[in-house]
């Protein structure tokens, strides 16, 4: 416990807080809009963009976001052009997901880049720096603004997208905004939990919060609180048990679901 008084723990702790708030807030909207599979695709499609960014000396935040958005737009264009049913669409999406991961790993090998692949995939919270915290904090602020300014629009997208089109709401643009903010949060959360594990922090607190929520606002508040507790617990336990924090947080999310089942059963 004395170790927590050390100032060098402050950044990982704050980063865990920001991540623990951002991911579940985003996740609540994504679960209600049934966009979780697409988000999983984005999480892995970030990798080639980050690698290319490093190779070209460009900010990996932007190249990662561009890569994730490009993958989603490509998949959705393919699905629309092929008129696939839900099963085929899911198969296509997962193929692109795996291919993105493979492409990222190949690029690292071919370009012989000094990329910490393990850190990218599983996070390395304890060595996070000020840049990572600023990135995550910015993503949290932007996310809060997006939720606040478009609250009714997000309700329409989750509740009745067809009704939203009837009322001439810009559904396509809203989905694009949601994809962009998703890419921002996922890339920013890389330092804390990693691309392979971020989905646990996005989904599990949201599911627990949605169980008895009577409104979107209530679900968002509960999800943020649960996510904050899981992230902080993961960070503290990582120090105490000398274990990697990203996998600890992801495993904690699984326990969260098990606990919920016990209570409801």
Binding site for another protein (CB under 8 A): 32, 34, 152, 155-156, 158-163, 165-168, 210, 213-216, 218-219
Specify the residue, 105 or 213, whose C-beta has the smaller distance to another protein: 213
Closest approach of another protein to the CB of residue 165, in Å: 7
Closest approach of another protein to the CB of residue 101, in Å: 31
Closest approach of another protein to the CB of residue 254, in Å: 23
Specify the residue, 14 or 213, whose C-beta has the smaller distance to another protein: 213
Give CA–CA dist 158/155, Å, rounded: 5
Specify the residue, 16 or 207, whose C-beta has the smaller distance to another protein: 207
Question: Collapsing DSSP states into helix, strand and coil, what is residue 208?
Answer: helix
Give CA–CA dist 171/33, Å, rounded: 12
Specify the residue, 131 or 160, whose C-beta has the smaller distance to another protein: 160
Closest approach of another protein to the CB of residue 73, in Å: 23
Give CA–CA dist 243/254, Å, rounded: 17
Type and span of the H or E element at 26 = helix 10-33
- For 50-83, give one letter per residue: b (16+ CB within 10 A) or e: bbbbbbeeeebbebbbbbbbebbeebeeebeeee
Contact 206, 28 (CB under 8 A): yes
């Amino acid at each position: 416990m004395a170790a927590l008084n050390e100032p060098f723990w402050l950044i990982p702790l704050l980063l865990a807080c920001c991540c623990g708030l951002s991911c579940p807030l985003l996740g609540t909207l994504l679960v209600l809009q049934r966009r979780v599979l697409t988000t999983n695709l984005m999480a892995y499609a970030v990798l080639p963009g980050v690698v290319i960014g490093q190779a070209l000396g460009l900010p990996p935040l932007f190249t990662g976001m561009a890569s994730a958005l490009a993958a989603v737009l490509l998949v959705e264009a393919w699905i629309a052009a092929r008129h696939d049913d839900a099963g085929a669409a899911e198969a296509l999406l997962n193929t692109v997901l795996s291919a993105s991961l493979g492409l990222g790993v190949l690029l690292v090998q071919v370009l012989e880049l000094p990329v910490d692949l393990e850190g990218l995939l599983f996070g390395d919270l304890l060595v996070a720096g000020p840049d990572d915290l600023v990135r995550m904090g910015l993503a949290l602020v932007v996310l809060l603004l997006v939720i606040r300014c478009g609250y009714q629009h997000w309700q329409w997208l989750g509740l009745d997208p067809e009704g939203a089109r009837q009322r001439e709401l810009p559904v396509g643009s809203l989905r694009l905004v949601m994809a962009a903010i998703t890419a921002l949060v996922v890339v920013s959360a890389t330092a804390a939990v990693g691309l392979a594990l971020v989905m646990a922090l996005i989904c599990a607190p949201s599911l627990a919060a949605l169980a008895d929520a009577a409104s979107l606002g209530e679900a968002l508040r509960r999800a943020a609180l649960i996510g904050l507790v899981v992230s902080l617990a993961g960070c503290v336990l990582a120090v105490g048990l000398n274990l990697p924090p990203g996998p600890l947080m992801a495993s904690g999310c699984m326990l969260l679901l098990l606990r919920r089942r016990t209570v409801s059963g």
